[in-house]
C-alpha cells in the first residue's frame, strides 16, 4: 500500500467515528420533541428515495422510458403494494416503451 493513502484512511476513520459518536454525546436522554422524532423517523425513507428516484429515471437508454417506469411503478405500488408485481410492471413498461421509442 502506498504511504500517501494513510492520511486519507485516517481522515475517513475520524469522520466516521465523529458521525457515530456525536449522537451518543448529545442525545443521552429520550427524545421527547414530536417534530424531531418524526424528522428522525422519516430520514431513512427520504435517503432511500433520494438515491432511488434518479437511478430509476436514468437507468434506461431513453429518459422517456425511465420516467414511464417511474410513473408505472408509483401507480402500481399505490394500487397493489407487492414488490415483485411493481418491479415486473416497471420492467414491462420499459420493455414496451423501448419498442416504440
Tell the burial category of 54 from Cβ atoms under 10 Å away from its Cβ (0-12, 13-18, 19+): exposed
Total number of domains in the chain: 1
The pTM for the full model equals: 0.61
What are the percentages of helix, strand and coil residues in the chain, rounded to 5?
80, 0, 20
What gap in Å lies between CA 64 and CA 100, rounded to an integer?
11
Q: 42-94: per-residue pLDDT in tens?
A: 988 898 888 888 888 898 888 999 999 999 999 999 999 899 999 999 999 99
Range of the domain at 9: 5-100
pLDDT band at 36 (very low <50, low <70, confident <90, very high): confident
Amino acid at each position: 500500500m502506498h504511504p500517501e493513502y494513510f492520511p486519507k484512511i485516517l481522515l475517513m476513520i475520524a469522520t466516521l467515528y465523529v458521525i457515530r459518536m456525536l449522537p451518543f454525546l448529545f442525545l443521552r436522554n429520550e427524545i421527547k420533541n414530536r417534530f424531531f422524532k418524526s424528522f428522525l423517523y422519516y430520514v431513512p425513507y427520504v435517503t432511500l428515495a433520494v438515491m432511488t428516484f434518479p437511478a430509476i429515471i436514468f437507468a434506461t437508454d431513453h429518459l422517456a422510458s425511465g420516467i414511464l417506469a417511474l410513473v408505472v411503478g408509483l401507480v402500481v405500488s399505490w394500487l397493489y403494494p407487492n414488490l415483485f408485481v411493481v418491479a415486473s410492471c416497471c420492467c414491462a413498461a420499459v420493455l414496451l416503451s423501448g419498442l416504440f421509442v
